[in-house]
Amino acid sequence: MSTAPLYTVVVPAAGIGQRMQADRPKQYLTIAGKTILEHTLENLYAHPQIEQIIVAINPLDQYFDSLPIASKTWVKRVDGGGERADSVLAGLNSIQNADWVLVHDAARPCLAQDDLSKLLATAEHSEHGAILACRVRDTMKRGNTSHGILHTESRDNLWHALTPQFFPLDALRSALGQAMAQGIAITDEASAIEWAQGKVHLVEGRSSNIKVTQPEDLHLAEFYLQHKATL
C-alpha cells in the first residue's frame, strides 16, 4: 500500500501590513488567543501531507522568535526580502530534493483541510500546477482613475485567486527568478508561471479562506476560526 506524498510549504511573512494600521505586522496580531501566523502555520501542519513549513521572515523582525511555534522542528526560518516574491524565492532556494512545493499567505489562517486535500490531489493527475480559487459572485465594475465607472465586467470565468498555490518546485523557482530578473510585476506565484507560458489549474475552494488585510477582517477571521468545523 503506497503512502501519500509529503510536501513543504513556503510562507512569506516578511511584510509589514501597513493597511492594518497596527503597531506590528498583521501576522502578529492576535485572534482567539494566538497570532494570525500561528493559526496559519498550525492549520497547515495539521494536514497529514504537510511535512515542513519554511517561513520567510524580515531579518529585523522582533516577534517571530518569541512565539512557541518558532522552536518546532517542522518550522524552518529563512530571511525574507522587501517584496513578497523575494521572500518566496528565498524559501524556494532553501529547499532540496522536492518535486512539488506549496506557497501560502501568512495572513490566511482559515484554510479548510479538505480544500488543501483537493489542491494536493492535482499532483496525482497533472504535471502542471494549480491554485485554490473561488468564483467571483459580485457584479464587477471597471473604474477609472477618478473613481468613475467605465463599464461592467462579465463575471463569466472570473475567479478570486487564493492560496495555497501548488507547483513543481523547479518550474516555479525558474519562472519566479527569471520574471523578477526582468522586472516583471509578480503578484502571486501563478502570475510567474503564466508569464513563463506555463499552465495553471483552478481548484475551487471556500470563500472563507480570507486574507486578513483590513482591520475589519480580524473579526471575520475570528468567526471562521471559531466555526471552521461547521463551515
Please, what is the angle between helix 169-181 and helix 84-93, to 10°? 140
- The domain ranges of the chain are 7-226
Per-residue model confidence as pLDDT tens digits over 170-207: 999 999 999 999 999 999 999 999 999 999 999 999 99
pLDDT at 20: 61
C-alpha to C-alpha distance for 111 and 113, rounded to whole angstroms: 6
Instruction: Decide which of 64 and 24 is more confident.
Output: 64
pLDDT above 90: residue 21: no
Q: 522586472: which residue's cell?
A: 183
Q: Average of pLDDT values for 60-72?
A: 95
Phi, psi of 76 (to 5 degrees): -125, 130
Q: Any idea which of 22-31, 44-53, 97-106 has the lowest mean pLDDT?
A: 22-31
pLDDT at 140 over 80: yes
pLDDT score for 15: 80
Between the alpha carbon of residue 194 and those of residues 130, 187, 197, the distances in Å are: 11, 11, 5
In sequence order, which ranges of the chain are alpha helices (DSSP H)?
Answer: 36-45, 84-93, 113-120, 122-125, 169-181, 189-195, 217-226
* Single pTM value for the model: 0.94
- The answer, yes or no, to whether residue 231 has pLDDT greater than 60, is no
**Right CATH for 7-226 from 3.40.50.300, 3.90.550.10, 3.40.50.1820, 3.40.50.2300:** 3.90.550.10
**45-58: pLDDT as tens digits:** 999 999 999 999 99
pLDDT at 229: 60
Output the pLDDT for position 23. 79
Close Cβ partners of 189 (under 8 Å, ≥ 6 residues apart): 88, 103, 129, 131, 165, 167, 172, 176
pLDDT in tens, 120-133: 999 999 899 999 99
